[in-house]
């Protein structure tokens, strides 16, 4: 097998391990996405694990699957409480971070991490299930319901997935984004660009100080701000946050909501929103073009939203 790693010489396609981890199953990767967290990880220097946590492919029997990229331990207090996204052992069990991931021609994963695709979802598009699950978890934690008027800030991959997921739940979604092409993609997915104020829920998918400030500005007093974007740098809270008594709702990955598996629910939403792949995936590369794929994904001037690698 071959996969993408960050090396001392930059992004390279390298040979993977010769033996499979005990008890694992093989996924022949068909599609894999480059995430913003991948771009952050490569700035930290060489990685020993093959990158990629957004991926889908085929089992040896031909079953198309998306891969849940965290092998939760199932035995810590948080897993036993039904909050596996808070698993105390997750950091050492993340494909693409601490375990070899899916930016590769094949991957070996725990059997419980393979999720069969619903009818109508092409495996070529199923790398979008993971970011959609991230969005769905944040939406669920924030209590978004049918008929609710919500605002999404940011139209990167997670922001657009948030639009799609919130619309699938029946919410009215406004979207604020600074790049016209991304805003257009959000409108295509059902968002309105007419931003007002006094929202019961604001979904911050940008993860910056300015987006947090904007969220607090536009949420109603006593409202909720769902933190979907990753704050790679510390942020501060000011007097408006306190005066409005805003509730900040952090979210991380995905788990279960009212007994339903959010990752599988995300796959159903991707299948039900046929415009999502075309609205989001702006660039596709082969495995041998890994360095160029990462360059494009990290270059704002290229206009990329989601860059996919199809081995």
What is residue 20's DSSP assignment? P
Whether 19 has a pLDDT exceeding 90, the answer reads no
Domain ranges of the chain: 2-130+255-309, 143-250
- pLDDT score, position 97: 96
Mean pLDDT, the chain, whole residue set: 96
- C-beta of residue 105 within 8 angstroms of C-beta of residue 28: yes
Q: Architecture of 143-250 per CATH?
A: 3-Layer(aba) Sandwich (3.40)
> Percent of the chain having pLDDT more than 70?
100
Helix (H, G, I), strand (E, B) or coil at 101: coil
Whether 293 has a pLDDT exceeding 90, the answer reads yes
Pairing of strands 54-58, 2-7: unpaired
- pLDDT score, position 65: 98
Distance from C-alpha of 263 to C-alpha of 255, rounded to nearest angstrom: 7
- pLDDT score, position 178: 92
- C-beta of residue 69 within 8 angstroms of C-beta of residue 96: yes
What is the average per-residue pLDDT within 204-209?
96
Pairing of strands 64-67, 114-116: antiparallel
- C-beta of residue 68 within 8 angstroms of C-beta of residue 115: yes
State the pLDDT confidence band at 20, using cuts at 50, 70 and 90.
confident
What number of CA atoms fall less than 13 Å from residue 216's CA on the CB side?
19
Distance from C-alpha of 205 to C-alpha of 159, rounded to nearest angstrom: 5
State the pLDDT confidence band at 48, using cuts at 50, 70 and 90.
confident
- pLDDT score, position 258: 87
State the pLDDT confidence band at 247, using cuts at 50, 70 and 90.
very high
Chain segment 50-87, per-residue pLDDT in tens:
999 999 999 999 999 999 999 999 999 999 999 999 99
State the pLDDT confidence band at 35, using cuts at 50, 70 and 90.
very high
Chain segment 86-137, per-residue pLDDT in tens:
999 999 999 999 999 999 999 999 999 999 999 999 999 999 999 999 999 9
2-130+255-309 CATH fold: Quinone Oxidoreductase; Chain A, domain 1 (3.90.180)
- pTM (2 decimals)? 0.96
- pLDDT score, position 18: 79
Chain segment 144-185, per-residue pLDDT in tens:
999 999 999 999 999 999 999 999 999 999 999 999 999 999
């Amino acid at each position: 097998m071959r996969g993408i790693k960050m090396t001392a010489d930059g992004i390279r396609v390298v040979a993977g391990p010769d033996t499979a981890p005990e008890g694992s199953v093989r996924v022949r990767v068909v599609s894999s996405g480059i995430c913003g967290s991948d771009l952050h990880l490569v700035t930290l220097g060489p990685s020993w694990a093959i990158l990629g946590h957004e991926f889908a492919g085929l089992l040896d029997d031909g079953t198309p699957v998306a891969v849940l990229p965290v092998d939760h331990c199932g035995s810590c207090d948080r897993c036993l409480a039904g909050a596996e996204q808070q698993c105390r052992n997750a950091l050492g069990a993340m494909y693409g971070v601490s375990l070899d991931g899916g930016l590769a021609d094949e991957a070996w994963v725990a059997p419980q991490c393979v999720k069969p695709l619903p009818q109508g979802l092409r495996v070529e598009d199923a790398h979008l299930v993971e970011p959609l699950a991230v969005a769905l978890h944040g939406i669920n934690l924030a209590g978004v319901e049918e008929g609710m008027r919500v605002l999404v800030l940011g139209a990167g991959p997670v922001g657009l997935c948030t639009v799609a997921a919130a619309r699938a739940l029946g919410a009215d979604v406004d979207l604020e984004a600074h790049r016209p092409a991304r805003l257009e993609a959000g409108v295509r997915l059902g968002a309105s660009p007419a931003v007002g104020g006094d929202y019961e829920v604001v979904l911050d998918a940008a993860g910056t100080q300015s987006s947090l400030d904007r969220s607090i500005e536009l949420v109603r007093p006593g409202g909720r701000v769902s933190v979907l974007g990753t704050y790679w740098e510390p942020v501060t809270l000011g007097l408006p946050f306190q005066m409005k008594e805003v509730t900040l709702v952090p979210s991380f990955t995905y788990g279960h909501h009212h007994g339903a598996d959010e990752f599988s629910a995300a796959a159903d939403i991707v299948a039900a929103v046929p415009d999502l792949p075309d609205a989001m995936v702006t660039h596709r590369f082969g495995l041998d073009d890994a360095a160029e794929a990462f360059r494009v994904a990290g270059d704002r001037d290229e206009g990329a939203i989601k860059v996919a690698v199809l081995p």
